A and B are shown apart, each in its own frame.
Chain A
Amino acid sequence: MTTVNEKIGEEIRVQARKMLAEGAVVAVIGYGVGSLPMTARPMVARRPEDCDKLIWSSFCVLNLANYLPEVLKSVEPPHGPRDPKPPEDSLPRVAVLATGCWSRNIVVQIQEHQVARTRVVVMGVGSRGMVSRRKVESLFPGKEILRVEEGDHDLVIHGADFTETINRWSVVRDNCQTCTHPDPVLVDVRIGDPVSERKNPKPFKQVEEIERLSVDDRWAWFTTEFSTCIRCYACRNACPLCYCPTCFVDDDKPQWVGKSLDTVDTGLFHLLRAYHCAGRCTDCGTCETVCPMGINMRMLTKKLNKDVLNLYGLEAGMQPDAPLPLTTYTLDDPQKFIVTEAPSAKEGE
């Protein structure tokens, strides 16, 4: 019996091989087998015979949109900085696998002119939610997991001296559990069956739990949550929104954020990193997944997503023709936070 993911994997291999053989694209960004159980390694297939290595599983947690601008640049014919750039439609095209959130990231990249729409072939896969390796490992403390077999609705975990079956949805990542748009918004080649929009009554439940705390408790939450950060910048490097040639954390004239492990410096880094994703983040959860310390930095971007939706009614990457929330304005944007002149005049706030 083949599972849904195996079927999707076979379709990916067939389509990728076909596009590479026909010359429709020169590279396909997808996943290969990871070197550890419960991992999948992002890979770029450049020849039809590479396509046999492509897979699809519940552990495809890294956002492939992150690699897209770089791969697109790598397939351009060499030209110097002063040479005129060849017209976009004459440049080779690249195919990329995309679930709901990754496809929205690609939309944002197109809106921000990092990626030309004509050069991308989006292989759309409806997401069934990706499994958090950390959640699975926490179920088996002190035991090493050697192999994981995937069924459609459960995972069979094999260790040296145990075999256990667990429910798949119970270990799906938090951001996938609260996801409302699992199906790609941009599809050139459809892989597998489309999945329907999910009705989620409380997509911002975790954020609201924190909002309900008092100011001091929120500060306590913030300082403890981010105190373990080791500033490896994995969250930044794995993020498809972070493509600035020089990140604000690497600036030293002026140096916005200190480079030490002081809690103030790590806190400021996370606040500013999240803020730079405001109105652009699609809650793909990659930052949280790659964090070696298990910090839930997604809470900050999720809070910003919530505000952008509530204040401006926009969700990143959902409207390819609309401008990004922070690159536009309306004349009557909410401004409750503005200080009016006299203390007595702000009773209405």
Chain B
Amino acid sequence: MTDQNDNWEPKIIAFLCNWCSYAGADLAGVSRFQYPPNIRIVRVPCSGRVSENMIMSTLKSGADGILVSGCHPGDCHYISGNYFARRRFALLSNLLDFVGIEPGRVNFSWVSASEGEQFASVVQSVTEKVRALGPASRLVKKLDAAQAA
């Protein structure tokens, strides 16, 4: 990460479910909705596939922000995957808040395949939030610091 750099751009990792949010991102693309180019998309089969291990190790690897997005409750391709995910994410976001990870680093949303415009505005709002927070430092593993110690 390039700390203290005027040209710093937030890197946001987006875990998008294959059936809704990924298709929503696709629709945003083909409909030519503008959104910030700061997200790197990881396509997952379902938001229920995104485990706490994945989110934490993304933070550890230096992502400035995380966005997890899946189908709206009730629309899951696997019937109930996002309902389970919702419980897990609720607890995880509270726990991260509890240990002092800035609110806004880790974000969760629901975007359906027909919501290209909404996808663009979710990315817009998440990018703005992360940009305001600045480069991530909490729970980011700095390799050179670890090696020097």
Q: Using Cβ atoms and an 8 Å threshold, which residues of chain A touch B110?
A: 338
Contact B101 A219 (CB under 8 A): yes
CB of A271 closer than 8 Å to a CB of B: yes
Q: Using Cβ atoms and an 8 Å threshold, which residues of chain A touch B100?
A: 215-222
Contact A339 B141 (CB under 8 A): no
CB of B109 closer than 8 Å to a CB of A: yes
Chain A contact residues, CB within 8 Å of chain B: 207, 210-211, 215-222, 248, 254, 256-258, 260, 262, 264-265, 267-268, 271-272, 274-276, 278-279, 300, 303-304, 307-308, 311-312, 325-327, 329-331, 333-335, 337-343
CA distance A339 to B130 in the complex (A): 13
- Chain B interfacial residues counted at CB < 8 A: 51
Given known pairs A215-B103, A258-B60, A304-B91, the reply for A338 and B52 (CB within 8 Å) is no
Contact A343 B125 (CB under 8 A): yes
Contact A300 B99 (CB under 8 A): yes
Main secondary structure of the interface of B (DSSP, over half): helix
Instruction: Report the minimum CB–CB distance from A281 to chain B (whole Å).
Output: 12
Contact B87 A333 (CB under 8 A): yes
In B93-149, the 8 Å CB interface with A consists of 93-103, 107-111, 115, 117-118, 121-122, 124-126, 128, 138-142, 145-146, 149
Main secondary structure of the interface of A (DSSP, over half): helix
Given known pairs A256-B56, A325-B87, the reply for A303 and B102 (CB within 8 Å) is no
Chain A: which residue is nearest B101 at the CB level?
A219
Contact A308 B91 (CB under 8 A): yes
In B9-52, the 8 Å CB interface with A consists of 52
- With A275-B52, A335-B73 known, 14 other A-B pairs at CB within 8 A are A210-B98, A218-B99, A218-B100, A248-B53, A258-B60, A258-B146, A268-B139, A278-B88, A329-B80, A329-B84, A333-B90, A337-B93, A338-B109, A343-B124
